[in-house]
Amino acid sequence: MLKNNRILITGPASQATFPIARELARSNTVYGLARWSNPDDRKKVEAVGIETLAADLADDALDHLPDGLDYVLNFANVKTGSFDYDLRANVEGVGRLMSRCRDARAFLYCSSTAVYEANGRHAFSESDPLGDNHRALFATYSIGKIAAESMVRFCAREFELPSIICRLNVPYGDNGGWPGFHLEMMAAGMEIPLHSSDGPCLYSPIHEDDYTATIPALLGAASVPATTVNWCGDETVGIEDWCNYMGELTGLEARFARSDATLESVVTDPARLNEITGPRSTVGWKDGIKRMVAALHPELLA
């Protein structure tokens, strides 16, 4: 892991970001930037040694951000459903942040595999067509991520700021994640939606231990023009698989319902990621799910 650097992380309290921020804070000076609408999130982040800063990337001035940063990691994302606000915060905000931090050694933008045009169980590579595959759940999400990627590419060239765009696919771990939401639904006796297409709903989940460990290599691969890479695990796993396994662990029933108002499969090819980071899938999905259940609801373990 990185040591003795000055690092700015946006959205440091989120489910996917907090494990990274906590690990980096062990050996670096880390600043956490967010709106801090939830005071408890700010306390949680400060408790692991991160200096917090407040700003809304949509509108607020960024003059108070520290100078002399080595790295900037942008994980901030808002999903209000308002295209005007969400695009201003998530797209223009990225441009404003990169302009302010143009002297950094590298910039990492956390995108999503939500940018790919839905295509059954095809394993997406970074050059595959883009589309609005999350509209059923989050109206602005896919379009915002695609637009923000374009902003990152422009700013990387404009400011000669080495950048990397990382398309994250189902991050999960002791801090929760999509499987964690499904666990809560199972505990509440709720049906878990699956897309109405035939067959399992497949993804490429990556455990927090593994994606946190890739940060130094990903920052080292930042470039002008910007690098784009899938940020995913090596295993292909279905929603049905991880829910049924959680059922085995807890005795809860996994009940499913087919619907068009949910996501289709998004499987991603990890070849380019493996070229950058080398072997990095150290946590198999069953071990990761069992750890997650133990962390979130130890009382449910059979």
Q: Which residue has the tokens 């906590």?
A: 22
Q: Are residue 12 and residue 161 in the same domain, yes or no?
A: yes
pLDDT tens for each residue of 98-120: 999 999 999 999 999 999 998 98
**What is the widest separation between alpha-carbon atoms in the chain?**
56
CA–CA distance, 276 with 125 (Å, rounded to integer)? 15
pLDDT confidence of 279, banded at 50, 70, 90?
A: confident
Q: Which domain holds residue 42?
A: 6-170+208-231
Quickly count: other Cβ atoms within 10 Å of residue 287's Cβ. 11
Identify the CATH number of the domain in which residue 161 sits. 3.40.50.720
CA–CA distance, 223 with 217 (Å, rounded to integer)? 12
Region 65-69: mean pLDDT is 97
> Domain for residue 71, yes or no?
yes
pLDDT score, position 259: 87
pLDDT tens for each residue of 116-174: 998 988 999 999 999 998 887 789 999 999 999 999 999 999 999 999 999 999 999 99
pLDDT tens for each residue of 168-201: 999 999 999 999 999 999 999 999 999 988 678 9
Region 251-259: mean pLDDT is 94
Q: Which residue has the tokens 């997406």?
A: 124
Q: Are residue 145 and residue 249 in the same domain, yes or no?
A: no
pLDDT score, position 74: 98
pLDDT at 75 over 70: yes
Region 282-296: mean pLDDT is 97
pLDDT score, position 136: 77
Q: Are residue 225 and residue 189 in the same domain, yes or no?
A: no
Quickly count: other Cβ atoms within 10 Å of residue 158's Cβ. 13
Region 203-218: mean pLDDT is 97
> Domain for residue 72, yes or no?
yes
pLDDT score, position 167: 98
Percent of residues, the chain, with pLDDT higher than 70: 99
Nearest-CA neighbor of 109 among 60, 159, 172, 151?
151
Q: What number of CA atoms fall less than 13 Å from residue 243's CA on the CB side?
A: 25
Give the three-state DSSP class for 206: strand
Count structural domains, the chain: 2
Identify the CATH number of the domain in which residue 177 sits. 3.90.25.10
Quickly count: other Cβ atoms within 10 Å of residue 219's Cβ. 23
CB-count burial class (<10 Å; 0-12, 13-18, 19+) for 302: exposed
pLDDT tens for each residue of 28-58: 999 999 999 999 999 999 999 999 999 999 9
Q: What number of CA atoms fall less than 13 Å from residue 281's CA on the CB side?
A: 18
pLDDT score, position 198: 67
pLDDT score, position 263: 87
